[in-house]
Amino acid sequence: MSATAPPPRRFRRTLIWFVLIAIAVLALYTWVTLTYRYSEGERAGVLQKFSRKGWVCKTHEGELAMFIVAGVAPQIWYFSVRDDAVAGQLASVVGHRVQLHYSEHPGVPTNCFGDTRYFVNRVTVMDAGPAAAAATAPGP
């Protein structure tokens, strides 16, 4: 009798069912975390960075600088974007004052959907941007 005898047929079938059930549970958990919103709201500030990054899963990530009062360092809020239309809109308004509508999805099991738990789904531009501010500034 060989030491590397193949496992019995019943064991292989049980192992295959176990793996399939584990994959189904993980898929269901991922679906629930992406569809259920823990919270949603609005944040306003200056969009200071927006990029597409990742080694395997490319995601859209951004930084919003929220100013409390002038002269104080801003609080940086990191967010992700899943919708390509919103990502295109954000890419064109870097440097502008914007209002972002987001939903929070804690517990998403992988970074392939975004690096953060905050997903922006709507953008409102609040000003004309840095170019307009420079054009209206008084000269020397």
How many whole angstroms separate alpha carbon 76 and alpha carbon 102? 15
Supply φ then ψ for residue 7, to 5 degrees: -65, 155
pLDDT of 135 reads 38
> What CATH code is assigned to 37-135?
2.40.50.140
* Tokens linked to 103: 């939903």
Predicted TM-score (pTM) of this structure: 0.76
Q: What is the pLDDT of residues 46-84, one digit of tens each?
A: 999 999 998 888 999 999 999 878 788 889 999 999 999
